[in-house]
Amino acid sequence: MKPVAPQRALRVLISAGPTIEPIDPVRYLSNRSEGVMGYEIARSSVRRGHVTTVVSGPVRIAPPVGVKVYPVETADQMKQELFRLLRTHDCLIMAAAVCDFRAKKISRTKLKKTGRRTAYTLELIATEDILGFLKGHYGDSKIFVGFSLESHDVRRASLQKLRRKKLDLIVANPIKRGGPFGKVKNDFYIIDGARRETSYRAISKSRAAQLLLDKVEGLWYGKPR
């Protein structure tokens, strides 16, 4: 792949992996994300000559050479780190699977099972919409790319998210048997702000990363600066 000329290189900020929300000192809420999509985007981005930064939840993936990685755990930590870094970047690709809920009250001590019928009620509250917060702060000065993982009505739900958050692009994934996590091939739908949709069937995340960056570059280089 031909690298981008240095004077035209993008400064790309990517979120990757899951976030985790503590319940007590040893337990937490999370999801099945392994961070593969975000790290594939980072790998493709740095190969193109872009300045590439990743804010990553807990994963077991070695960072690509040339990519600066900032590790975080919770959704709030991810929000704060992205907010701090986005000021010096041109584009945010929000590939992280941010945990949608957190415990309203975190126990300071380990919750003990005292018998077979021990039961606890866990009250959950929603975590903040990171992408919406960042878009609201930075407006149209950056390119914002979101991801939408849906079990049904994939296109409709993704279009609603695109419009609601006023994104430049959204990548939609259907949840199929076994889920979209790891290195499995999956269907991808990339929709832009004008609601133009491009669909890709059963492609790798490496290929999806390249196709997504093609669209991001097209938006940026055609955009007045």
| Per-residue pLDDT reduced to its tens digit, 130-158 | 999 999 999 999 999 999 887 677 788 88
* Active-site residue, 173 included: no
pLDDT mean over 207-216 = 96
Confirm whether 1 is domain-assigned.
Answer: no
Q: Looking at the domain assignment, is residue 116 inside a domain?
A: no
pLDDT band at 185 (very low <50, low <70, confident <90, very high): confident
The mean per-residue pLDDT over the stretch 35-55 comes to 97
Q: Note the pLDDT tens digit of each residue in 91-121.
A: 999 999 999 999 999 999 999 888 777 788 8
Residue 6 predicted with pLDDT over 60: no
The token duo for 98 is 């941010």
The more confidently predicted of residues 121 and 181 is: 121
Catalytic option among 30, 31, 204, 206: 31
Tell me the helix, strand and coil percentages in the chain, rounded to 5. Answer: 30, 25, 45
Burial of 110 (0-12, 13-18, 19+ CB in 10 A): exposed
Phi/psi of residue 24, nearest 5 degrees: -150, -175
Domain annotation covers residue 112: no
How many structural domains are present in the chain? Answer: 1
pTM: 0.91
Full DSSP string of 121-167: ---EEEPP-HHHHHHHHHGGGSEEEEEEEESS-HHHHHHHHHHHHT-
Average pLDDT over residues 27-35: 93
- The band of 7, judged by pLDDT with boundaries at 50, 70 and 90, is very low
Cβ atoms of 40 and 19 closer than 8 Å: no
| Enclosing domain of residue 155 | 9-107+121-221
pLDDT tens digits for 60-81?
A: 999 999 999 999 999 999 999 9
- Is 186 inside a domain boundary? yes
Residue 114 lies in a domain: no
> How far, in Å, CA of 123 to CA of 115, rounded?
22
Predicted local distance difference test score (pLDDT) of residue 41 = 98
Q: Which residue has the higher pLDDT, 175 or 219?
A: 219
Residue 130 lies in a domain: yes
Note whether residue 151 is domain-resident. Answer: yes
Q: What is the pLDDT of residue 222?
A: 83
CATH of the domain at 83: 3.40.50.10300
Q: How confident is the model at residue 180 (pLDDT cuts 50, 70, 90)?
A: low
Q: Residue range 164-172: average pLDDT?
A: 93
Residue showing tokens 């692009």: 169
- pLDDT score at 84: 97
pLDDT of residue 223: 65
Residue 55 has a pLDDT of 98
Per-residue pLDDT, 17: 96
Domain assignment present for 13: yes
What number is the average pLDDT over the span 186-198?
A: 89
